[in-house]
Structure 1
Amino acid sequence: MSSTEKNQSFFKKLRDPYRFAIFNEQTYEELFVIRLSKLNVVTLVGVLSIGLIVFVSFLIAFTSLKEYIPGYPDANQRLLIVRNAQRVDSLLVEINKRDRFINSFQAIVRGDIPDSASQAKSGPTGHQVVRNDVVDFAKSEEDSLFRLEIENEERFNLSVRQPSSKIVALENTFFFSPIKGMVVNGFGEVKGHYGVDIVAARGSRVSAVLDGVVVFSGWTVETGYVIEIQHANNLISMYKHNQNLLKEVGEVVKAGEAIASVGNSGELTTGPHLHFELWYNGTPLNPVEYISF
């Protein structure tokens, strides 16, 4: 038999009809009859399979059933993935900043020019960039008048008439914070207010800002229990409105040592706080510029 006859015989068998019937066992009555061929069965099964696959795919893609598939992240996991990606990106930025800082610091120690400085001179593309340190700023008449006005206003302000040597000495001095709290009244906010007011709980520890000797420890009507300490370099620190004093005149104290406790003593007070002043060569200083409260 040739191959053509075999193929025709095969397709003919696929199209051969078959009868599927359901009979009543007692009466032999036909209840259901269907005529099918092998080709019809294969076609029907294929169409149903494709439809079932498409239906299940849409069901998984557009419903929450996909979260039950092993290995597929749920909503919380996807949120964590996004947040972690953002944190990693921020961490990479910080690492790059740290690396640039370390490289610049090492270059300065070696006596070389940091990469950032060379890039600023030549520019990122190698072109010459105008340097700000060689720009000539001419003084205008309005600027001169404004400078004269400010100088006249600050002529009697003791805090601005400070020698440069004093500023350098204080910048190299480490001050211990007398107390941790919130600064409610700053330096010079009220006339005659030569310090800062720090709110803290009653009975909190008050510490000395530097090594020194107690030069005053007693009571005043306006500021209550007050203690003053003489430090090196003509520095004096004052602690007012205390609840009680722990040191006497003439005692030597160390930086960070307890000298009093926060209170509400004296007439010029509205609640438990510490009024702290810092003086240098008879000039009041703003403690916030040197101490972190």
Structure 2
Amino acid sequence: MAEKEKRSKKIKKKLLHKYRLVVLNEDTFEERFSFKLNRLNVFVFSVISALILIAGTTILIAFTPLREYIPGYSSTRLKKRATQLTYKTDSLQRELEINNQYLASIRKVLTGDVKTVNFNKDSIINAASVDPSKFDFSASREDSLLREKVSREDKYNPLLGDTSIDYVLFAPVKGNITQVYNPKEKHYAIDIATVKDTPVKAVADGTVIFSEWTAETGYVIIIKHRNDLLSVYKHNATLTKEQGELIKAGEVIGTVGSTGELTTGPHLHFELWRDGYPINPTNFIDFE
């Protein structure tokens, strides 16, 4: 016990032993000011200073914009911007999915990849069992007038729809037309015979929406122009543009060839479509 008391008194004496901190003028050794200190005071002052520094740093980080300059902390403006970009990205993804579905449907129609409609067999059987002699199929006056009106409207174009074009189209190639536009035979295009490897040019500015090989029509490229106009070029020997590229009017997009199963020689099978309806290309382009 005596040794413990001596040791505690010794430690207490060391902690409470007074020291004087004197600040002197280096040239004159004049005393400016002095402090009376002991080890306990220095320890308490150091602990309080550290706590104040930690508290002040925490307040600056938590409640002031200075935290933006500390690595690992993001700014409010950056978070807001990231949220806006997330919403925009989601909207663009949905828009892209809609456009992809639209282009896929156009691709199926233009390449002939359209499946047969699934009919209701029961309704066909029921219709076949009905006796047609019980019905009067003679045309009424209103029906006759309607037939005459539709006949006049379709006299020059058997397909309905606005097929007018308000800008100039360039000839994709020059040559002899071997097969004309004939909707009655479902030939919604013209075939232009010309020399093999002749450059094929775009009829107007637009975007390539299809540029691939098909078994029946060989290398095919489809360009979408403004006002929902589509131009189709089939049986090409080569294609120089890919899907998604922007095209200028008169720019070379391929070369004339005789690829695919449905071909008889070097020629360009050219189609024009507007709002889902075919257009006679010779009404707008001089190919000879």
TM-score by length of structure 1 reads 0.45
